[in-house]
Each structure stands twice: as C-alpha cells, then as structure tokens.
C-alpha cells in the first residue's frame, strides 16, 4: 500500500500542482506488465528527462562554484555525484521506495530497495519537479538533497579522481617520487586472465590488487594502498 504523497511533499518542501504527475514518478514498468488495462505511463520517460535535467544542473553548479577546476575535473566530478549509488542513497533517505508501484515479482525481489530502481525513481522525481514547478525548483531540490555537503566533500577531498591519481598526488607531495606498479602474478587462460599487481614506493610495498586487466588491477592496488593510509 503506497503512502500518502502529502508525506513526501512535506519532506521535500514542495507541493505539486499536478498530483497525477507525482504518481507517474512511482509507476515502475513491471507494475504495468501486470495491469495492462490501466493504461498508465511508466516512469521511464520521466527518468530520461530527469537524467538530462540533473546533468545540466550539475554542470551549471560546478561551473559557478568551482571556476578554477579544469573541464576534465568537471566531467569526473559529475560522474562521481550522479552515479547510481549516490542517487539511490538520496532516494533511500527520502523513502521513495515506499511509494513505488511494483509487480509482485519485483516486490518479492526487494525492488523497493533495489539501487537501480531507486536511482531511476529519483531522476523521475527530478523531471516531475522540473515540469510541475520549473527549473529553479528542480535546481533547489537537487542542491538540497544531493549536492549539499556531499558534492563539496567530494571536490575538497578529490574523491572524483581515480584511486591511481589520488595515490599519485599523495605520494608526490610526501616523497617527491611517483609510485610504481608491478605485475607479480598472472593466472587463468589467455582469454580470461587474472592479474595480480602491487604498488611500490622506493621499493616499499604499499598495497596490492587484482583484476581482469592490468589497468583494473593497478586501480585496485592503489585503492588498497589508500585504504591502508587512512
């Protein structure tokens, strides 16, 4: 049983003019497969629009608030803040899963806490706010629920950089040298190899990692090193 939308409107401090649009946010395509006679729209089109609105607002925010960063930094920061996990985390805080219309199968499969479904629903909600209340309301909603504290924290701590890039910055600043990566083991057939890599600084091992490519293994090794340093 879906909760009253009044609860959600109070939580996000927005009152929708068109209540049916808010309902559309939560209609998952699986629900429609079981209720074909209802002729309701799924939230997929809203999700598509919401993704674009979120991308534009993120770009504007970064451009206005971090003018000294490079274009490549903007791209990496945007990718880190709009990833599925980040959006799903906000959706969980807003309890969006409680409002979803799901099929019995998705319900049994814990669809209400599924990261992909929650992230898509959050994007659909952005689109609905944009359509119903305009760009400024969508901007304020994203700023309050997604950017506040989180995006600034990501930029300040350079979490948008890859583990290898972050480790390199730290090692360069501390030791004035670059970390080196060495493949210590290769296992598996030629078409499905697993690489084991260690990262060294002045012959001192910082960490190690493995992956299906040397690049992936190096990133894992750098990530392992960063975890040991914190």
* 223 belongs to the catalytic site: no
Residues whose CB falls within 8 Å of the CB of residue 95, separated by 6 or more in sequence, listed in order: 3, 8, 11
> Out of 76, 106, 123, 218, which one is annotated catalytic?
123
> Out of 51, 208, 219, 223, which one is annotated catalytic?
51
Q: What is the DSSP letter of 158?
A: T
Q: How far is 181 from 163, CA to CA, in rounded Å?
A: 13
47 in a labelled binding site: yes
Pair 193, 187: CB distance under 8 Å: yes
123 in a labelled binding site: yes
Q: How far is 5 from 9, CA to CA, in rounded Å?
A: 6
120 in a labelled binding site: yes
* 51 belongs to the catalytic site: yes
Residues whose CB falls within 8 Å of the CB of residue 209, separated by 6 or more in sequence, listed in order: 196, 197, 217, 218, 219, 220, 221, 222, 223, 224
Catalogue the active-site residues. 51, 123
- Would you list which residues are annotated within the binding site? 47, 120, 123
Q: What are the binding residues for Mg(2+)?
A: 47, 120, 123
């Amino acid at each position: 049983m879906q909760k009253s939308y009044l609860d959600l409107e109070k939580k996000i401090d927005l009152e929708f003019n068109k209540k049916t649009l808010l309902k559309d946010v939560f209609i998952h395509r699986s629900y429609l497969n079981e209720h074909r006679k209802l002729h309701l729209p799924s939230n997929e089109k809203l999700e598509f629009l919401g993704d674009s609105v979120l991308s534009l607002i993120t770009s504007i925010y970064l451009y206005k608030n971090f003018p000294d960063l490079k274009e490549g930094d903007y791209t990496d920061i945007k990718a880190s803040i709009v990833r599925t996990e980040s959006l799903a985390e906000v959706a969980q805080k807003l309890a969006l899963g409680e409002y979803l219309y799901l099929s019995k199968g998705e319900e049994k499969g814990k669809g209400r806490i599924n990261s992909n479904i929650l992230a898509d629903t959050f994007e659909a909600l952005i689109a609905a706010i944009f359509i119903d209340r305009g760009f400024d309301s969508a901007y304020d909603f994203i700023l309050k629920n997604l950017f506040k504290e989180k995006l600034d924290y990501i930029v300040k701590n350079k979490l948008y950089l890859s583990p290898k890039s972050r480790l390199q910055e730290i090692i360069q600043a501390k030791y004035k040298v670059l970390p080196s990566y060495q493949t210590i083991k290769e296992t598996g057939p030629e078409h499905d190899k697993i690489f084991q890599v260690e990262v060294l600084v002045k012959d001192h091992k910082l960490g190690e990692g493995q992956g299906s490519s040397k690049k992936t293994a190096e990133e894992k090794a750098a990530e392992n090193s960063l975890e040991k340093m914190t």
